Each structure stands twice: as structure tokens, then as C-alpha cells.
Amino acid sequence: MPVATYLQAVNLALKEEMRRDPDVFVMGEDVAVLGGAFKATEGILDEFGPDRIIDTPISEALLVGAGVGAASLGLRPIVEMQFMDFISCGFDQLVNMAATARYRHGGGLRVPLVVRGPTGAGVHGALFHSQDPEAWFTRVPGLKVVAPATARDARGLLKAAIRDDDPVIFLEHKRLYRSVKEALPDEQEPEPLGVARLARGGSDVSIVTYGGTLPLCLAAAERLAAEGVDVEVLDLRTLLPMDFAAIARTVGKTGKLLAVHEDRRTGGLGGEILARVVEDLWDELDAPPRRVTAKDTHTPFAPTLEAFVLPSEDEIADAARGLAAY
């Protein structure tokens, strides 16, 4: 098929899975008539009708609660958050209900729910339209958390998430929606959840990243290649469960680790990655592992301040250069 954007890949996966399985349906704020705030659900109403794509009131708690109920009864709901910041309104339903259901029922109840939507900053969305909420959920047993960074993975991982029998939080970085493009095959099987992808091979420094910071890491790696520093970039893709075996392979290869993400530094996933590497791979390390993250503050509206808060290509290149020279 022709080159598709990340956003078009999401739309394609939704339509393909709805054609494949009549139990799959979509609900959310403005998803039907408008086609979603970012047009991720454009054209679905025309093809599938109002019984399969449902415009809802502006109540994320209602949305997630209805999704948990529908999934518990055997359907496969896809709930769109207009912005992932507001997933906090459905936190109780996700963490205390959906995530615990299988355990509470001795494996006898599945909740095949997908909660998906735009996450992240870099588009001047300010306080309530810029957050990266993954770390709220990556410590919750029973959930899966997915953060694709390419159009192919957006399509393949979303298909896998929809078919999964556990609740999945699917984070689509809004900065990637139209900036990332890729030729997609006419037919594409689901990409397995829980498996990282080697985005770039290298021998001097390992960068472990995901979602919106992958393009920055790849650009920094290309810049350093011109300086003679060979950087390997691992794209986690799935954050829970995390592919620690892939992290161990790249750290064992280079001995130097840089974790990069757009979420804030304190409590972010990078700290967990560094902790596990120090605990389990101490003998493999040739330098203290490092992090490049957003600063521990809210996301400003002003573009210059937003750029100051967010991780940059320069910061990533400087940190990797320092590790290589250690």
C-alpha cells in the first residue's frame, strides 16, 4: 500500500480489527460523527454504523467503566481518550477493577479492553494536553502498556492489543501522528506484545527508549556516528511487560546504557530500567548508566519553555557522547 502516516496506521488497524471481529467496537468523545479530535476514527461511522462506534458524554470515568463492563461480558471495546491526560479520571476503573479482574476470579474472567489515545508534549498543548502517563500504570499487575513509535508498530501492536484478553493501555504520541510515515504491507499480522525492537545497531553505547523520543534518539545516533561513536538504539515498544532480555543483550554488547523518555525524571520508567540493570547486570557495565528525561515540572504552553522542559536531541547526544568517553 502507499506510504501511511502513524495516524493512518492507527485508523487502518481499527478498521481491520472491526471487520475481522464483530465484537470489536469503539466509543469515546467525538469519535463517530467528527472522526476523533485527531481523526484517528475517521470513516469508521460510515462503514460500521452507530452501533459499532459510539459518541459518548464527556466523562472519562463513564467511558472506562462502560468499557470494563462491556469487556467483562465478552465484547472487545476500544475506548478512546481524547487526550491521555484525562485517563486519570478512569484510574480507579482501570487499576482496581480491570487490572485485578482475572486474579480476583481465579483466571475465569477476562477483560479484553483497549484504552487508547494521544499522549505526550511538543505540540504546545500545555498543562492538560501534554502529559505522559505511562509510569502511573507500568507498576500495575494485570495491565499491559504499549507505546509504539513507528507507523508499522502502531498498526501491528494495536491489532495485537485488540486481540489480547487483558486490558491494554495504548499510548499514541501525538507528535508522531503526522510526522512519522512508512510504507505498510497490504496485509499485516499483529506484532507480539512484550517484545522490543532493535531500531539501530551499534557497539559503543546503548540507548533504550520508546514512543515519542525514538526519533530524537535515532537522530542523535546519526549525529554521533559522524564523530565515530557507534550508538545502538533499542525501542521497547511494550512497557509492561518489559522486554528486559533485550535490554540485557544490548547492555551486554556495549557496557554503557542511556535510558531516554519524555516522561518526567522522578518516578519515570528510566529509573526502573537503570535499577534493574544495576541489580542484575552490574558486571556488564563499563560506565554508570544515565537518563535523559523531561524535567520534574508541568509542561508550559510557551514553545521556548516547553522545549526547555522536554528532552532534546542535543541532550541525548551529549549524554551518549559522555558515556562513550567514560
Average pLDDT over residues 285-311: 97
The answer, yes or no, to whether residue 2 has pLDDT greater than 90, is no
Model confidence at 53: pLDDT above 90: yes
Assess whether 267 and 210 both reside in one domain: yes
Question: How many structural domains is the chain composed of?
Answer: 2
Q: How confident is the model at residue 1 (pLDDT cuts 50, 70, 90)?
A: low
With bands split at pLDDT 50, 70 and 90, how would you rate the model's confidence at 35?
A: very high
| Position 133 in a domain | yes
CA distance 39 to 174: 12
* Inter-residue contact 93 to 143 (CB < 8 Å): no
pLDDT tens-digit map of 241-290 = 999 999 999 999 999 999 999 999 999 999 999 999 999 999 999 999 99
Model pLDDT, residue 21: 98
Are residues 246 and 157 part of one domain? no
Mean pLDDT of 143-162: 98
Same domain, 174 and 202: no
Q: In whole numbers, what is the pLDDT of the chain averaged over residues?
A: 97
Q: Is residue 191 part of a domain?
A: no
Same domain, 113 and 218: no
Which one of 127, 149, 183 terminates a domain? Answer: 183
On whether both 143 and 271 belong to a single domain, the answer is no
The model's pTM = 0.97
Q: Does residue 92 sit in the same domain as residue 172?
A: yes
* Residue ranges making up the domain that contains 216: 197-325
CATH number at residue 256: 3.40.50.920
Residues 13 and 127 in one domain: yes
Q: Is 192 inside a domain boundary?
A: no
pLDDT reported for residue 307 = 96
Q: Residue 28: give its domain's CATH number.
A: 3.40.50.970
Q: What is the pLDDT of residue 61?
A: 95
Domain assignment present for 189: no
Cell 510504507 belongs to: 183
Nearest CA to 168 among 192, 196, 204? 192
Q: What is the pLDDT of residues 182-237, one digit of tens each?
A: 999 999 999 999 999 999 999 999 999 999 999 999 999 999 999 999 999 999 99
Burial group, residue 269, by CB count within 10 angstroms (0-12, 13-18, 19+): buried
Q: Is 129 a catalytic residue?
A: yes
Identify the active-site residue in 129, 173, 261, 298: 129
Indicate if 154 and 226 belong to the same structural domain.
no
